[in-house]
Amino acid sequence: MRRQKIVVFDDQLCFATPTNPAYSSAAFNAILGKFDRLRFECVVDNVRGFRPLDIFLQHSPDAEHWVHKNGTPDKPPVTGQGDVSWTTLSSTSVNYLVGDSGPSPTFSFARFQLIFSTGLGDAHVKITVTPRDAR
């Protein structure tokens, strides 16, 4: 059952590299961890320059040690293996993709990690989550 809709990131993203990524606000970590499934919409616009972008869903049992929910390496994250991944971002139109947390259970805390593979990007990114539980 759908419980709510949450905008967890809505900001201009600059210089988010694999070794220095950006994250969604910690204010949402415990809220996102309460649900069995997370469906998320990612919208990217106002892109400057050609920069591949990856968005990973991470989860943690203690809000201190984080791993990628999709099982890909996270130190550093591997470009092109995000839950949502663009190899080419259009600078003239809106870029739109949808992701899902998958069927496996989520730990108590969840967040989004955002990286430009080259680290030299600049774009407006908005991530909206629709959490669901098993009922």
Q: What is the pLDDT of residues 47-61, one digit of tens each?
A: 987 678 899 999 999
pLDDT at residue 119, rounded to an integer:
59
pLDDT at residue 135, rounded to an integer:
56
pLDDT at residue 120, rounded to an integer:
67
Residue 119, phi-psi category: left (phi > 0), alpha (psi -120 to 50), beta (remainder): left
Break the chain into its structural domains and give their ranges. 23-125
Q: Taking residues 79-104, report their average pLDDT.
A: 88
pLDDT at residue 2, rounded to an integer:
59
pLDDT at residue 63, rounded to an integer:
94
Average pLDDT across the chain, whole number: 88
